[in-house]
Amino acid sequence: MTTTTTRHATEREARRVAEAAREAGWRKPSFAKELFLGRFRLDLVHPHPTVPEADSAEGEAFLEKLEAFLTENVDPEVIEREAQIPDEVVRGLMDLGAFGMKIDERYGGLGLSQVYYNRALMLVGSASPALAAMLSAHQSIGVPQPLKLFGTEEQKREFLPRCVKCVSAFLLTEPDVGSDPARLAASAVPSEDGKEYLLDGVKLWTTNGVVADLLVVMARVPESEGHKGGISAFVVDAASPGITVEHRNAFLGLRGIENGVTRFHQVRVPAANLIGAEGQGLKIALTTLNTGRLSLPAACVGAAKWSVRTARQWSGKRVQWGRPVGEHEAVASQLAFMAATSFGLEAMVDLASFMADEDRNDIRIEAALAKLYGSEMGWRVVDDLVQVRGGRGYETAESLRARGERPVPVEQALRDMRINRIFEGSSEIMRLLIAREAVDVHLAAAGDLVDPEAGARRKAAALVRAVGFYGRWLPTLVVGPGMVPTAYRAEFGRLGRHLRFVERRSRRLARSLFRAMARWQGRLEYRQVFLGRAVDIGAELFAMTAACVRAQMLAGTAEGKAAAALADAFCKQARLRVDELFRRMWENTDASDRTLAKDVLAGRYSWQEAGVLDLASASGLPWIAEVSPGPSTTADVHRTIP
């Protein structure tokens, strides 16, 4: 009973912290939010936004320089073998301005748009995913982005010019804090004179942390007189006394990343380095990720495009059973999936990025959908490439080269790709975040009705609100433009039928969410698998829309017809996935799976695990290392890039 009570208390606290960090307001329209409400607002994304000509000229010129630099200076096999990016490559990229791509020109950066920043990362990722991860961790979540969004003019002037020529890192995760920042233990105690904070704690999996010059650190300020306290964000100079990088981590993929464990012991941080206000740290972290999240799916798009090219070249050449393998139907269907998905993914990520630059819409849900969908579908595409390459898909590039074959790093691509479903918000957490936004309107209208903590007066007010809202909203879900057979056809030709499908399924999605709300009420948030399917449907519908809008934008160009064919193929495949997800919303094994999982956790089936060894347990080490406070007892492995 006590354990259950404690568990509920911590769960409530986790939810409260996440809720407080959420950006609550919607100042601009949101295509995806409307989609979940059954309103297909094609006008928000069509015609496809474009880049102003001046930006485009600058962006293209930079991409050209970048491509030349990468081709000449980056050897992915060296990065993989040595598990390190050569310092000259990092320096060279700094000289090129690649560490300041998103930093405003006023502060010495290139001031590229999100679209060109993504294209640059995609290019870099096709040379070395580890290198793209370094640039992205520095600019998408490292010091430049939170300062751009929340920094004061003084902070920008002090740190942004430095960021153009240095490496920075974002330190939120701790050994006991992954998806649940409510448990954050690092502390920042204000000094009595108010001039500084004393930072203590241990941060885990700090991408770039091993070589970083500047850090963004999330730490908890205790509440005291004159201090609101709460999780807060600080810019910290990595050379400050009391900072030790205790370990450099090694991973399944991204072998070149400089990711470590960093200890802070009584580190003095000037009060002027606090970003925003005390207690705003998580909001800053989450808002940073809103657009920061777009660079990760851009890297996934790069991997998908690279996979299609490799699969095309290989499966057209490799002959087995009298035909190129790509002509055998089983492989052909993989090729079709890869090509169509690559188009759909690029359409979705590009559209979200153009929308970010255009700044007409709120794109927080679109960016989150792009992160979720890009990493999940990108993974499937690369996995198919491994299959299409057969045994060679499993062999390292070095080994292929040694036996005289083209060193295509397919197994590495799969390993490098896997982390995208985990970091910057795991897929499970992304589905929860998106679902929260999708049901936001319902919570605003009727949340108090199902809130056990709401009193009679709040419930009565909620009832009035709910009757008003649902009275207006529900009838809109019955009929819509997609019911007219010719809808969207005039502008989109045969792709119009896919947009009709999106419109109709968008209303069905909203009806399903309403039905689920009515059925489970306050318990809906625990129906994660149901909500996950709703989110996955939303992602598919957004991707389908993006694919059609992109094809329409390309109509009349040399690639116009081929783009329409790819969009058509992508939509046909996506429609099957969407209808399967709808079916499984109500026809599934969720309830029995929950029971089964409970029994698994209780050890009821542990006999089933007999016959296999558990060698790691012989180490006697715990699953999660205890963090002992105090100074470091190990050597500092921090290194400065010369």
Residue ranges in contact with ligand FAD by CB under 6 A: 137, 169-173, 178-179, 205-207, 251, 259, 419, 422-423, 426, 428-429, 432, 528
Cβ–Cβ contacts within 10 Å for residue 153, how many? Answer: 7
Output the smallest distance, CB 223 to ligand FAD, in A.
24
Query: How many residues does this entry show for the chain?
Result: 642
Beta-carbon contacts of residue 568 (< 8 Å; ≥ 6 apart): 494, 495, 498, 551
Output the smallest distance, CB 21 to ligand FAD, in A.
14
**Which residue's CB atom is positioned nearest to ligand FAD?**
178
Using the minimum distance from each CB to ligand FAD, give the nearer residue, 120 or 432.
Answer: 432
Using the minimum distance from each CB to ligand FAD, give the nearer residue, 209 or 279.
Answer: 209
Distance CA(445)–CA(462), nearest Å, equals 6
Residue 231 pairs in a beta bridge with: 220
Output the smallest distance, CB 18 to ligand FAD, in A.
9
Q: What is the DSSP letter of 227?
A: B
Q: Find out whether 283 and 21 touch, Cβ atoms under 8 Å.
A: yes
Distance CA(441)–CA(240), nearest Å, equals 46
Output the smallest distance, CB 176 to ligand FAD, in A.
8
Distance CA(465)–CA(439), nearest Å, equals 15
Phi, psi dihedral angles at 219 (to 5 degrees)? -145, 160
Residue 187 pairs in a beta bridge with: 200, 220
Phi, psi dihedral angles at 176 (to 5 degrees)? -105, 5
Q: What is the DSSP letter of 361?
A: S
Active site residues: 424
Using the minimum distance from each CB to ligand FAD, give the nearer residue, 172 or 368.
Answer: 172
Using the minimum distance from each CB to ligand FAD, give the nearer residue, 252 or 467.
Answer: 252
Q: What radius of gyration do the chain's Cα atoms show?
A: 25
Q: Find out whether 162 and 103 touch, Cβ atoms under 8 Å.
A: no
Q: Find out whether 254 and 125 touch, Cβ atoms under 8 Å.
A: no
Cα dist. 341→103, 538, 571 in Å? 32, 16, 9
Using the minimum distance from each CB to ligand FAD, give the nearer residue, 426 or 632.
Answer: 426
Distance CA(380)–CA(357), nearest Å, equals 29
DSSP string over 281-322: HHHHHHHHHHHHTTHHHHHHHHHHHHHHHHHHHHHHH-EETT
Distance CA(515)–CA(510), nearest Å, equals 9
Output the smallest distance, CB 314 to ligand FAD, in A.
29
Output the smallest distance, CB 204 to ligand FAD, in A.
7
Using the minimum distance from each CB to ligand FAD, give the nearer residue, 121 or 449.
Answer: 121
Output the smallest distance, CB 15 to ligand FAD, in A.
9
Output the smallest distance, CB 171 to ligand FAD, in A.
6
Q: What is the DSSP letter of 140?
A: I
Token reading at 389 = 């390459």
Q: What is the DSSP letter of 177?
A: B
Output the smallest distance, CB 257 to ligand FAD, in A.
6
Q: Find out whether 388 and 335 touch, Cβ atoms under 8 Å.
A: yes
